[in-house]
Amino acid sequence: MSTTANVLAIDDQSDETRRLLEVDSDETPEIEVDVVHPQELEPPMLEAAHLIILDYKLGDWWPQGTPMACQPSDGLALMAVISAHLRRTEEPPKRRHPTALTLISGDLSALATSDVVPHPHLIARAFGLDWAFDKTKPQDLAHQVTLLARAVRDLPLDWPDEPQEAENSLRRLLKLDESPSPDLGWSDVMRTTPPLHELSRATDGISVLRWLLHRILPYPTFLWSTHRLATRFRVRHRWVLEQIHTNGPFARLLAPARYEGVLAGFLGERWWGAGVEEIVWDKTDGASLSIDELHAWLEQEIGCKLEAVGILHPVICLDENYLAKPELASMDDCVRLQRDDWPAHADAPWISIDIARERPDIASRVIESDRDKLGEDDDDEDLP
């Protein structure tokens, strides 16, 4: 397995992209980034790359007189050419390492239709890509590029055919056996139907990374976000963030359950839900289901006062852009949504009743059993 992760960025404004993708060579000596103009692109560059990043907006970079069929109008068109080339070079017995195909843009909304929210994972999924990077978030860009390049590098050269070996490969990538409750964690993983077999063999494991990037990390699943920790412990989300950012006693308590597997930190820190439950169950002698006892134990354990929320049934509430609001909300003030992109294995998405009432497009996605909470008048008094 190669120790170097090669990143190839293709952009007609290569100086800008080179600046955005600059990585610290002292901290990440194994990451090599090469930024080229589309006219400079050569097959060996593609074949050496673990991660290819293509700018969505490309100018008229082809020579005058080039036939229209040879003029990719944007990054998506050129990506199709690149993808076809990579498929053509994958001929046994010579084996290449896997390659992730991604797009970068300073305006992801230009890639979204009226029905697709411009979230990177949704855009990537809509166009058959592994990820869509956002130029407007330079603080995240180099970090995410580094993590994805490493993830591709660390995939097996050949995804195993034998079912047990395929499961073992996924467990190793997730570093599941290092968590406090690996058996329960594996049950949670399997409930999400990861692409262990046909898809992963056909894509040399890239499907596993897509599963994480598209269906696990962006949603409330078995890998818990800081919001999910706040709902479980019924505390203010800002308090959880402060504890995590300062490595406070709460963060140290849950450290054994922190997710350290492939793509860890790509969309923020995560924790194994089964691992968190195992820790609090053991520490409270089985009393972790009682919030009062949980809070009393936790305050004694960490030696400081909790910022508890006075909500009986707290939920993670989304805003009108389907992003989690900073703080938790009461289930009584929210309704559940049914969205095309939302995985069945994830916790239900909630949005405030006020937003649903103001936005007919959102109200139309409220599940039927919650629509009465919107106060809709279903009487027939207006009918002739």
243-264 pLDDT tens trace: 999 999 999 999 999 999 999 9
| Residue-averaged pLDDT of the chain | 90
- Is a pLDDT exceeding 50 seen at residue 382? no
Do the beta carbons of residue 66 and residue 73 sit within 8 Å? Answer: no
pLDDT in tens, 258-316: 999 999 999 999 999 999 999 999 999 988 889 999 999 999 999 988 999 999 999 99
- Residue 269 in any domain: the answer is no
- Residue 249 in any domain: the answer is no
Residues 39, 129, single domain; the answer is yes
Residues 25, 104, single domain; the answer is yes
Task: State the average pLDDT over residues 321-341.
Answer: 96
- Residue 225 in any domain: the answer is no
Residue 122 vs residue 96, higher pLDDT: 122
Residue 26 vs residue 227, higher pLDDT: 227
- Residue 234 in any domain: the answer is no
pLDDT at residue 132, rounded to an integer: 97
Q: Please state the pTM of the whole predicted model.
A: 0.91
- Residue 268 in any domain: the answer is no
Q: Is 339 exposed, middle or buried (0-12, 13-18, 19+ CB in 10 A)?
A: middle
Residue 15 vs residue 319, higher pLDDT: 319
Number of compact structural domains in the chain: 3
Three-class SS state of 51: strand
Query: What distance in Å separates the CA atoms of residue 49 and residue 248, rounded to the nearest whole number?
Result: 40
Tell me the residue range of the domain where 185 lies. Answer: 163-216
Residues 175, 79, single domain; the answer is no
H or E, element range at 318: strand 317-318
Residues 93, 176, single domain; the answer is no
Ramachandran region of residue 10, left (φ > 0), alpha (ψ -120 to 50) or beta?
beta
- Is a pLDDT exceeding 50 seen at residue 20? yes
Residues 66, 138, single domain; the answer is yes
Residue 322 vs residue 19, higher pLDDT: 322
Residue 61 vs residue 210, higher pLDDT: 210
pLDDT at residue 278, rounded to an integer: 96
- Is a pLDDT exceeding 70 seen at residue 214? yes
> Phi and psi (nearest 5°) for 213?
-70, -35
pLDDT in tens, 100-111: 999 999 999 888
Do the beta carbons of residue 336 and residue 318 sit within 8 Å? Answer: no
Task: State the average pLDDT over residues 236-242.
Answer: 98
Residues 316, 199, single domain; the answer is no
**pLDDT over 70, % of the chain:** 92
End-of-domain residue from the set 117, 134, 153: 153
Residues 9, 96, single domain; the answer is yes
- Is a pLDDT exceeding 70 seen at residue 377? no
Residues 27, 89, single domain; the answer is yes
pLDDT at residue 25, rounded to an integer: 63
Residues 173, 109, single domain; the answer is no
- Residue 352 in any domain: the answer is yes
Query: What distance in Å separates the CA atoms of residue 56 and residue 40, rounded to the nearest whole number?
Result: 17
- Residue 179 in any domain: the answer is yes
pLDDT at residue 2, rounded to an integer: 65
- Residue 112 in any domain: the answer is yes
Supply the angle between the helices 182-190 and 273-283 in degrees, to the nearest 10.
150
Residue 201 vs residue 259, higher pLDDT: 259
- As given in the structure block, the two tokens for residue 38 are 């589309």
Residues 205, 123, single domain; the answer is no
Do the beta carbons of residue 146 and residue 51 sit within 8 Å? Answer: no
End-of-domain residue from the set 153, 178, 193: 153
End-of-domain residue from the set 105, 134, 153: 153
CATH of the domain at 83: 3.40.50.2300
pLDDT at residue 93, rounded to an integer: 43
**pLDDT over 90, % of the chain:** 70
Residues 115, 200, single domain; the answer is no
Residues 125, 81, single domain; the answer is yes
